[in-house]
Structure 1
């Protein structure tokens, strides 16, 4: 191996991440056996954030852009590694790329029925499901609180935890909403906003945010659905009754306008 091959393997000049997946949240730049050359180029693409970590401590964070890695734009790493003025030697640091794009059309649902107390039916068990979107808002916090030292962290690794948070907050929000079970199907948008607002503080602790949350369906117990069907039928009957009354009133008006015709019709 020539000296140029050795140097190209020892020092890394370009640090970047080209994501070819649809579910990767965090990817660690592979540095085993390599040093980062002073003055190396760091490329952070739109929808990414680069986080430098030194001996387990989060250092400098870079938003999208093109950077030349020097002491002037690595102030925290410079302090942590005690670099002297004029330092230009290769250095080692873990570099994590964090995706800040929106991960949409994620599914959630109640594995077991949620118990709530309805003013009309008393204790009622319901089920619900829907979709949500998630994205990283604070890359450094997300690394510390969730990812740790995982070199490639995917959406699947956090989806179960997110669903548990959603179901727990959904149960609390729907119980406190005071919306009767018979009206829930017509108020899914309001329920979605209530749940999203309740979840936001907990997600913020993990460096996440939920830009979308939807309740697509709420399944009621069979007994409640029968009552709902009966009330709908009664509503239709009521409409027919009013229509019959309208027809009778119209007939009486026509008879008053044409008494001879009405008498003739009666004699015939």
Structure 2
């Protein structure tokens, strides 16, 4: 009992000897927070220390080294003269260690879909994003004041969850301002990453952190957006096919209707289109040729263009091979 009494009055060595990578802030444990005068504080590599004395943050030690502590808790005298306070001193000194080393490759992902309007196709887009970031605690005073308080322990995971909560809104803001279509996103991930890092740096600094790296690794669209993208892809493919045959998109849609009718039971005749597709083809081609496709028009159409259109009709299943060969011969004779 007597030995324990005198031991509590002696100066001590204070250090974070077994630092764990998952801990960001750690309070050095003492029985009564009576750190005695002339105690030694050792700050190791990748660490910093913060001193809370009589309820106030009085010192931040951001660099490694050995520090001598001078307090009002003098050895032996303190406890012997504090009978009215239960042999305890009102001069409380708490020592907190914090991790100053960089926390690298922290994975992140959006907790809910990010929404914005595609600037090219004017349809709503919902997507999720993921990546990784690195950060460092650089302002321990700000961090303790604004985030951790005087907790005995604050983990890297807690900090990561807090920082990640800022990402979704920042990403939505950047997508809206960047005016990237969904088709451009994969090619612009580097640009978006740099812009987001610059935007988030100020938010992180308010919490005492430095954002040292930030990357977007990928995005994924929700089901509704994928369906809208699929429709646009189909329309684009149809427009390219129409252009290859010398038609515009509206004319190509007419050809698709003929194709669908040709594939129903009874074929074109069952749809009331009579033998072959001659009459209906004439209507489709009229806007470009100025007259029926298989008669001599006032202004002769280009035989090569007409052969391209016939090939398109064959590919679409509107003309049979025999009908195509017969029509082709007519235009070959005009070359």
Question: Greater relative contact order (Cα 8 A, min sep 6): structure 1 or 2?
Answer: 1
**Native 8 Å contact 1:52 1:58 kept in 2:** yes
User: Match of 2:39?
Assistant: 40
Give how far 1:105 is off. Answer: 2.1
1: CA distance, partners of 2:237 / 2:41 = 67
Q: Which of 138-147 and 25-34 deviates more?
A: 25-34
Alpha carbons of 1:151 and 1:215: their partners in 2 closer, same or farther (altered >3 Å)?
same
What TM-score does the superposition give when structure 1 sets the normalisation length?
0.73
User: Match of 1:114?
Assistant: 114
User: Match of 1:247?
Assistant: none
User: Match of 1:101?
Assistant: 101
Q: Deviations over 1:71-120 (max 9, x none)?
A: 7xxxxxxxxxxx6xxx9556530111111111122222122221111122
Alpha carbons of 1:47 and 1:233: their partners in 2 closer, same or farther (altered >3 Å)?
farther
User: Match of 1:213?
Assistant: 214
Q: Equivalences for 1:194-213 in 2 at 5 Å?
A: 194-213=195-214
User: Match of 1:132?
Assistant: 133
User: Match of 1:78?
Assistant: none
Q: Deviations over 1:126-174 (max 9, x none)?
A: 2111111121010111111111121011122233221110112111112
5+ unaligned residues in a row in structure 1: which ranges?
A: 72-82, 238-268
5+ unaligned residues in a row in structure 2: which ranges?
A: 79-90, 242-335
2: CA distance, partners of 1:12 / 1:232 = 79
Structure number with the higher strand fraction is 1
2: CA distance, partners of 1:168 / 1:102 = 25
User: Match of 1:246?
Assistant: none
User: Match of 1:180?
Assistant: 181
User: Match of 1:13?
Assistant: 12
What TM-score does the superposition give when structure 2 sets the normalisation length?
0.60
Q: Deviations over 1:35-65 (max 9, x none)?
A: 2121111100111111111233211111211
Aligned residue pairs: how many? Answer: 220
Partner SS for 1:41: strand
Give how far 1:216 is off. Answer: 0.5
User: Match of 1:240?
Assistant: none
Partner SS for 1:18: coil
CA RMSD of aligned residues (A): 2.6
Answering whether residue 157 of structure 2 is matched by residue 147 of structure 1, we say no
Alpha carbons of 1:32 and 1:168: their partners in 2 closer, same or farther (altered >3 Å)?
farther
